[in-house]
């Protein structure tokens, strides 16, 4: 079992670095994971991360990238609702990477 150390607490993560317990999430988890992958989180990153958390809260799933893209476009504007914008923010894949930072499981069907 691996753990990450955030705010002086040891939090359990799986073999791919996703949080094991959803409830362990605090914003510093995202900051920590991003830093670990060499990314400094901007306002734009946070918009997506917060969106994902709200989506999970409401539907109990992490959305597929296609669904995320469409929903972001609706909520934050067409200029952000496209894969180019989202892949620039999250080069490892908006589904995989942003969900990890948001403390969510990997999107259903994502390999």
Partner 1 sequence: MSDVKKFCYLNRKAPYGTVYAWESLEVVLIGAAFDQDCSLVFADDGVYQLMKGSDTTGLGIKNFSPTYSALGDYDIKKIYVEKESLEERGLSLDDLQHLVWEDEDEDYAEKDSIMVVTKDELAQILEEQDVVLSF
Closer to partner 1 by Cβ: residue 4 or 67: 67
Looking at 20, 71, 81, 93, which residue binds partner 1 (CB under 8 A)?
A: 71
110 flagged as catalytic = yes
CA gap 42, 63 in Å, rounded: 22
CA gap 63, 65 in Å, rounded: 6
Q: Which of 78, 82, 100, 98 is nearest to 90 (CA)?
A: 98
Site residue total, partner 1 (CB under 8 A):
13
Decide if residue 60 touches partner 1 (CB under 8 A): yes
Decide if residue 41 touches partner 1 (CB under 8 A): no
Decide if residue 66 touches partner 1 (CB under 8 A): yes
CB of 93 to partner 1, least distance (A): 14
Q: Give me 46's structure tokens.
A: 């946070």
Angstrom CA distances, 54 to 15, 58, 103, stand at 25, 6, 12
Binding site for partner 1 (CB under 8 A): 58-61, 63-64, 66-67, 70-71, 74, 108-109
């Amino acid at each position: 079992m691996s753990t990450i150390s955030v705010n002086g607490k040891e939090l359990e993560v799986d073999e791919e670095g996703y949080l094991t317990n959803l409830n362990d999430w605090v914003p510093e988890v995202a900051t920590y994971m991003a830093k670990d992958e060499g990314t400094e989180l901007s306002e734009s990153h946070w918009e997506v991360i917060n969106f994902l958390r709200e989506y999970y809260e409401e539907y109990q799933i992490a959305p597929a990238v296609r669904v995320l893209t469409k929903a972001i476009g609706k909520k934050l504007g067409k200029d952000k609702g496209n894969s180019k914008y989202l892949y620039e923010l999250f080069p490892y894949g908006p589904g995989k990477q942003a969900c990890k930072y948001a403390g969510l499981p990997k999107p259903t069907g994502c390999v």
